[in-house]
Amino acid sequence: MDLNALIAFLHKGGPALWVIAGLSVLTLALVLWKLWRLARLGAWARGRVRTAVALWCEGGQAAALEALARGGDLRARLAASAMGALRNPRMDRDAAREETTRVAKAELAELRAGLRALELIATIAPLIGLLGTVLGMIEAFQALQDSGAQADAAALAGGIWEALLTTAAGMAVAIPAAAALTWFESVAETAQTDLEDIATRIFTHAGDRGAG
């Protein structure tokens, strides 16, 4: 479909179809940005932090911190923060736990950035499509009323299918947006579970903070 044909197609659906087209572009941009962001945050990186936590549990606290110094993913940052807080002589255990919780919340907030926008698109795209269809149906039946006894069934059918375009388009945008949202949320939930497990293991095996 060339540009002129695309513009003609959008005109058939009216303003609602133009809005949905804009939402489709925004959805694609959000999904690509989110994938890039998750990769930069290290949403799927686990190997380095597993090694570091294992060293910590075995009593090699300095070695564990050294292993984490080379990692830039969110799990490594949480583990380094928890270990550093526990080894800080100016922090008691409760203060260290509070600091670890603060870092975990910040990492999860970064991980979930942009999800509300996808949720909004998945919610409003079908509604905009339905609104466009209702307005199109009203217009079609008004034309039928004005034509009176000379009503053209083919013209009426053409008006109805053009009105239904917006409903189909709205669903076509909402379905992938909802699917992407569900997957991104599952990634965030997995990361949250991992962060909780990492923090629990670090605090459980804290031992002597001056060791290692």
Q: Quick one: angle between helices 61-68 and 74-87, nearest 10? A: 140
**pLDDT computed for residue 120 by the predictor:** 96
Contact 36, 43 (CB under 8 A): no
Instruction: Write phi, then psi, for 208 (nearest 5 degrees).
Output: -85, 115
Q: What pLDDT shows up at residue 210?
A: 43
Hey, is 5 helix, strand or coil? helix
pLDDT at 150: 64
10-residue mean pLDDT profile of the chain (212 residues): values are: 60 79 94 94 87 89 83 87 89 92 94 94 94 81 67 60 83 96 96 94 72 40
DSSP assignment string, 100-149: HHHHHHHHHHHHTTTHHHHHHHHHHHHHHHHHHHHHHHHHHHHHHHHHGG
Q: How many whole angstroms separate alpha carbon 45 and alpha carbon 38? A: 10
Cα 177 to Cα 124: distance, rounded to the nearest angstrom: 11
pLDDT of residue 208: 47
- Per residue, the 3-state secondary structure of 31-71, as one string, reads HHHHHHHHHHHCCCCCHHHHHHHHHHHCCCHHHHHHHHCCC
The pTM of the full predicted model, rounded to 2 decimals, is 0.81
pLDDT at 181 (0 to 100)? 96
Q: What is the pLDDT of residue 209?
A: 44
Q: Is the dihedral of CA 209, 50, 194, 185 positive or negative?
A: positive
**pLDDT for 158:** 57
Question: What is the rounded distance in angstroms from the CA atom of residue 9 to the CA atom of residue 135?
Answer: 17
Residue 15: partners with Cβ closer than 8 Å, 6 or more residues away: 132
